[in-house]
Amino acid sequence: MAAVRRCATMLVLCALTFEFVVMGAEVIDGSATKDRTLNGRRRQVATEPNGARRRRPSAGLKPGLDKSLVNETLGPSAVERNGKFLSLFTIVQFQNQGCAASSGDNGTCVTSAECSDRGGVASGPCANGYGVCCVFLATCGQNTKENCTYFVNQGYPGPYDGTGSCQLTINKAHPDICQFRLDFDQFSIAGPESIDHICNNDQFIVAGGNPTSAICGINTGNHMYIDAGVGNTNPVTLNFVTSGLSFPRNWKIKICQIPCNTIYRAEEGCLQYFTGVSGQIKSYNYDPAFGLQLSKQDYSICIRKERNFCGIQYAACPDTVNNRTHAFTLSGNTRGQTAVSSNTGTIGPNSCNEDWLIIPCATNVGRTELLACVDRICGGTLNTEISTTAATVFSTVKPFRLTVHTNNIEAPSDAGNRGFCLNYVQQPCSNNYEV
Ligand SMILES: *[C@@H]1O[C@H](CO)[C@@H](O)[C@H](O)[C@H]1NC(C)=O
Ligand SMILES: *[C@@H]1O[C@H](CO)[C@@H](O)[C@H](O)[C@H]1NC(C)=O
Ligand SMILES: *[C@@H]1O[C@H](CO)[C@@H](O)[C@H](O)[C@H]1NC(C)=O
Ligand SMILES: *[C@@H]1O[C@H](CO)[C@@H](O)[C@H](O)[C@H]1NC(C)=O
């Protein structure tokens, strides 16, 4: 008998499980049963290390079992169902939490049977070997509701060099999902055309969430937050449209579902969200050597104000490929290696009326005299005054937020602009940075 043979290696469990099978036939259920708790995590109970048999986590389970891994022997009175008492047996229970797959990806810890039922790929053990770290990969034409699904190109891990449309539909894992975080682990599609920097050939389009502009080019390492909407089901589609010249396209986007009531949920209306006292922010398709600033963008970048920090400083990233930094080149002809001045504000000849970055009420660090702060900055140098020398700028406006705007025209007055890469550092509350 299979149950007996399978138990042979675990003598105690063997007898007990066997008894369980006989006495509690209606309790054991070969189908994948899940108990969805409010925060969306699922609990599973396996009577064997390989998870072949599962028990509905219902009758008699002690509330205290809600730990990530519980190895507990229940007394004779602990489990009761339909008036029958089951004798002593061992329960292994674990939550379906995120796990580090041996592939290096982020997976979900489930039983091996459930992993294959749900179309995942087992990649290493988790929960002390009672579960497998299940990785979910999806590609064109598919639907997913699995947390942290990887959306990959056709032919992944090889490149895709073809034209067409590759769409993935994301559904909420449960109604209490407010956002999807997209991590561009790999994102390499054709860049914008070189006159007006519009994504004419390849595009990455998100539909069904908050309206976002199409992006293109190289965005590996960057990220994006998508509003999941209020409905119980509110599918969001990710679409790669590829056309034009031959290009070795590669993408691998990790899509994690963010429950509404969590501290890591992004602030409302932010396409990008950064946490931590310091970090680096890049506009889409930024690259100091080849990247072209994308036209037709309009979005906000938010930085979580960390506890006891009151202000924030921004400086252009080091640029190791150009003689003069191109880490802040938003408007003007910045193609050459000579400095192009910053522009500021909304009025006057040197104002920012086409492409700009808003840093609310920004001033240069180190200014002792009281100057009016500016909101809009553009040109070829990061500075809150008109200058060809880069400055570190700061703002104390809360929440910490940048707004990016680019119109749909570059040539002839704008040329060579790469966008921006900024290092930010939050500043502790003090006299200079009032609450
Ligand atoms: C369960 O408990 C037993 C006895 O304390 C121990 O030998 C075993 O390693 C535990 N299993 C897990 C998965 O922690
Ligand atoms: C999805 O996974 C992430 C990362 O492990 C986690 O923070 C988030 O809570 C998970 N979402 C759900 C719905 O389980
Ligand atoms: C994803 O996996 C990486 C590498 O294993 C790990 O550092 C990171 O914390 C994981 N992310 C989440 C959200 O679990
Ligand atoms: C930097 O300047 C040197 C000397 O003028 C020049 O040879 C080189 O091409 C310049 N680098 C770039 C990226 O333009």
d(CA 342, CA 362): 13
Mutate to test the pocket of ligand 2, among 68, 106, 147 (most ligand atoms within 8 A of CB): 147
Q: Whose CA is closest to atom 5 on ligand 4?
A: 323
Using the predicted structure, report yes or no on whether residue 87 has a pLDDT greater than 60: no
Q: Does the Cβ of 71 fall within 6 Å of ligand 1?
A: yes
pLDDT of residue 285: 98
Average pLDDT over residues 418-434: 87
What residues does ligand 3 touch, defined as CB less than 6 Å away? 98, 100, 106
- String of DSSP letters for 266-302: PPTT-SEEE-SSEEEEE-TT--TTT--PPSS-EEEEE
Mean pLDDT of 108-125: 95
Q: How far is CA 66 from CA 73, 77, 310, in A?
A: 15, 19, 38
Closest by CA position to 174, among listed 254, 236, 97, 260 = 260
Q: What is the pLDDT of residue 38?
A: 33
Which ligand 3 atom is at minimum distance from the Cα of 105?
2
Ligand nearest to the CA of 148: 2
Confidence of residue 95 (pLDDT cuts 50, 70, 90): confident
Ligand positioned closest to the Cα atom of 125: 1
Q: Answer whether residue 83 shows pLDDT above 60.
A: no
Q: Residue 431 — pLDDT band, cuts 50, 70, 90?
A: low
* Shortest-distance Cα residue to atom 14 of ligand 1: 71
Relative to the CA of 321, which ligand 4 atom is closest? Answer: 13
Residue 261 CA to its chain's centroid (Å): 17
The whole-chain average pLDDT of the chain stands at: 82
Helix (H) or strand (E) holding 6: helix 2-7
CA distance 18 to 22: 6
CB-CB contact of 202 with 241 (8 Å)? yes
Q: Mean pLDDT throughout 285-297?
A: 97
**Cα–Cα distance for residue pair 241/25, rounded to 1 Å:** 52
Q: Quick check: 308 pLDDT over 60?
A: yes
State which ligand 3 atom lies nearest to the alpha carbon of 101. 5
Contact 426, 305 (CB under 8 A): yes
323 pocket-lining for ligand 4 (C-beta < 6 Å): yes
All residues at 6 or more sequence positions from 211 whose CB lies less than 8 Å from its CB, including other chains? none
Q: Report yes or no: 144 and 138 within 8 Å, Cβ to Cβ.
A: yes
Q: What is the pLDDT of residues 18-76, one digit of tens each?
A: 333 333 332 233 333 333 333 334 444 444 444 444 443 333 333 333 333 443 333 33
- 428 DSSP β-pair partners: 309
The predicted structure's pLDDT at residue 432: 61
Sheet with 131-135: strands ordered across = 98-100, 106-110, 131-135, 121-126
Q: How many residues does the chain have?
A: 435
d(CA 300, CA 402): 6
pLDDT tens track for 210-249:
889 999 999 999 999 999 988 888 899 999 999 988 999 9
What are the pLDDT digits (tens) for 183-220? 999 999 999 999 999 999 999 999 998 889 999 999 99
* C-alpha to C-alpha distance for 119 and 135, rounded to whole angstroms: 9
How far apart CA 98 and CA 135 sit, in angstroms, is 10
Q: Please check the confidence at residue 252 and state whether its pLDDT lies above 50.
A: yes
Q: What is the pLDDT of residue 79?
A: 39
8 A C-beta contact, residue 421 and residue 285: no
Overall pTM surpassing 0.85 (yes/no): no
Residue 96 CA, closest ligand 2 atom number: 14
Range 271-291 average pLDDT: 97
**How far lies 34's CA from each of 18, 28, 53, in Å?**
23, 13, 13
Task: Give the pLDDT mean for 89-114.
Answer: 86
**Residue 222 to residue 220: CA distance in whole angstroms:** 6
